[in-house]
Amino acid sequence: MLGLGGIGSNACGETFLACPPGACAGDAGVSANAGESSGGKSFSSAGGRKGTGGSRENLGGASGGAGNLTSSGGSNLGGACGDACDEEAPHCLESEARCVECRTSEDCADPTRPLCNASHDCVRCKTDNDCKQAFSDRGVCVTTLGSEDFGACIGCQSEDDCDGYICDPKTRLCTEYEPRKKGVCAPCEHDLECKIGQYCVPQIFQGIFIGNYCTQTKEARVGPDGTCSLEGAGFSAEVVLTSVGGVRERFCALARTTCPAYSEHHRVKEGCESETPQGDAACGVPGVDDGLCRKLEGVHFCTYPCLSDADCKTGSTCPQNDEQYCSL
């Protein structure tokens, strides 16, 4: 058998921490006990054999010894501070063997007290330079009195902080998107990419996710008293949708096609060369029945199905023929 702290094995081949002679399970006069004592872990009776005596030994020694696996808190158990650090001062400053609120600004969890000062206390920022010295992505200090994040370091407060790009109002970080540049049916990833009166809305057609596109609110499209089904000019469905930014609004949306097919209306497109399923497949979204290929004066153009004039763009109509599609 090995000495204290070594590794041994019992008759069944199980590996265990070796203990002093006479103290292991199976030795005469010793029983192995389940659970932990104040000094550390002890062996379980389920895995050992009782001897004839009544004493019991615990691996790890007296209370507070090396076998004790619990502590009263702190981030430096066993270091210069022992286990003395608590919630108010949870970090150990090794060089001074004392518990502090922070060692660096990364230790400061309260966003309104983001900076670790020379006294190792978390404090508010006062200038942008304070934030820039501490963080690579949060170089703006909120100095507006009364603001809920007064004293916080954030990435941006406006487009001016982002070289003209969108400052996300939720994350307060700069994005790579230009603000208010995109019109109806333009692909988008952020609400603020779309022009005023529009939001970036996920489009589902025939149960298939098509993408995110700038979509006008009902009020922006037809006015507060207007009707999408009569005045929507292609966007004839009045629906309540939620934008990618979480804005829930009433929109005038496309009813009979998708944004890609709507945008391709009256355009010549490669593959649209015949009034066949193959020609139709070239218009709109691949694999989705949202577009048609039809000929006008010897030239094939993309269009899309409709039920009434309200489904078509301004200047286009929906002839009530055997096959209904927006006129070219």
State both tokens at 273: 């060369």
Q: Are strands 122-123 and 115-116 parallel, antiparallel or unpaired?
A: antiparallel
pLDDT at 31: 33
pLDDT at 232: 94
| Phi/psi at 47 (5° precision) | -110, 5
Each of the 328 residues of the chain gets a pLDDT tens digit; together they read 333 333 333 433 333 233 344 444 333 333 333 333 334 433 333 333 333 344 333 333 333 333 333 333 345 455 789 888 999 999 999 999 999 999 999 999 999 999 999 999 999 999 999 999 999 999 999 999 999 999 999 999 999 999 999 999 999 999 999 999 999 999 999 999 999 999 999 999 999 999 999 999 999 999 999 999 999 999 999 999 999 999 999 999 999 999 999 999 999 999 999 999 999 999 999 999 999 999 999 999 999 999 999 999 999 999 988 889 999 9
pLDDT at 39: 40
pLDDT at 84: 85
The angle subtended at Cα 172 by Cα 190 and Cα 198, nearest 5°, is 25
pLDDT at 78: 55
3-state secondary structure 48-84: CCCCCCCECCCCCCCCCCCCCCCCCCCCCCCCCCCCC
**Any alpha helices (H) in 102-158, and if so which ranges?**
128-134
State both tokens at 45: 């009776």
CB 303 within 8 A of CB 294: yes
Cβ within 8 Å of residue 312, ≥6 positions away: 233, 234, 306, 318, 326, 327
pLDDT tens digits along 162-203: 999 999 999 999 999 999 999 999 999 999 999 999 999 999
